Amino acid sequence: MTRDALIIVDLQQDFCPGGALAVPHGDAIIPVVQEWVNRFADNRHLIVTTQDAHPPDHISFLERGGPWPPHCIVNTPGYLLHPALRLPPGHARFLKGQDRDREAYSGFDGVSADESALSLADYLRSQSIDRLYIVGLATDYCVRATTLDALAAGFETVVIKNGVRGVDVSPGDSERALAEMAAKGAQLL
């Protein structure tokens, strides 16, 4: 039997319309993500969220020469998951990007928000997970990095196409990212 986990990447207020680094129509994926959450919860499959969790002076911010306006600063509203998303109690939370001097796009750079401080890969292995379903933001950054790391770590990885959205700083970035993920072995659903 294959053990599945749903990985919800960075579905945070700052990446949704009105947020500091909004993905265009980022919130449009929420009904799709919610359907998958409900399906996984009904089947008692694992649900994992990742969050960008930056200090106020993170290296990726413009004032430090990085590419992005300040976003997802811990303990600000923009850091929180989108309030429309309804998650079952007991889902696993992973945080990344806390180190002020290091960029971290991949959920696999994350550590558990609980006292275990496990890495995402160690946690998934501890739960005997072998297949990941990926949804969230942004296709061309954190979804891409998380998916490529998942494949490199040996997980069967399915990207739910209508459950992800991209920034597209250059037009076509998201499509290219999806093609790259597929070329490296991800299934696009």
Task: List the single partner that 48 binds among ligand VGL, Zn ion, none, CB under 5 to 8 Å by kind.
Answer: none
Using CB under 6 A as the binding rule, whether residue 27 contacts ligand VGL is answered as no
Task: List the single partner that 149 binds among Zn ion, ligand VGL, none, CB under 5 to 8 Å by kind.
Answer: none
Residue 142 annotated among the catalytic residues of the structure: yes
Nearer to ligand VGL, 70 or 158 (CB): 70
Considering the complex, what minimum distance in angstroms separates the CB of residue 104 from ligand VGL?
Answer: 8
Q: Which of 14, 52, 109, 142 is catalytic?
A: 142
Using CB under 6 A as the binding rule, whether residue 109 contacts ligand VGL is answered as no
- Asked if residue 73 lies in contact with residue 116, where contact means CB atoms within 8 angstroms, the answer is no
Considering the complex, what minimum distance in angstroms separates the CB of residue 26 from ligand VGL?
Answer: 10
* Subset of 46-85 contacting Zn ion (CB under 5 A): 52
Using CB under 6 A as the binding rule, whether residue 108 contacts ligand VGL is answered as no
Using CB under 6 A as the binding rule, whether residue 10 contacts ligand VGL is answered as yes
Considering the complex, what minimum distance in angstroms separates the CB of residue 69 from Zn ion?
Answer: 10
Residue 184 annotated among the catalytic residues of the structure: no
**Parallel/antiparallel/unpaired status of strands 92-96 and 111-112:** antiparallel
* Subset of 46-85 contacting ligand VGL (CB under 6 A): 52, 60, 68
Residue 173 annotated among the catalytic residues of the structure: no
Using CB under 5 A as the binding rule, whether residue 140 contacts Zn ion is answered as no
- Asked if residue 129 lies in contact with residue 86, where contact means CB atoms within 8 angstroms, the answer is no
What secondary structure does DSSP assign to the chain, as a single string?
---EEEEEE--BGGGSTTSTTPPTTGGGGHHHHHHHHHHHHHTT-EEEEEEE-B-TT-TTBGGGT-SB-S--BTTSGGGSBPTT----TT-EEEEE--STT----SGGG-EESSTT--BHHHHHHHTT--EEEEEEE-IIIIIHHHHHHHHHTT-EEEEEEEEEE---SSTTHHHHHHHHHHHTTPEE-
Token duo for residue 46:
């694992």
Residues with a catalytic annotation lie at 10, 96, 142
**Site residues, ligand VGL (CB under 6 A):** 10, 15, 52, 60, 68, 105, 137-138, 141-142
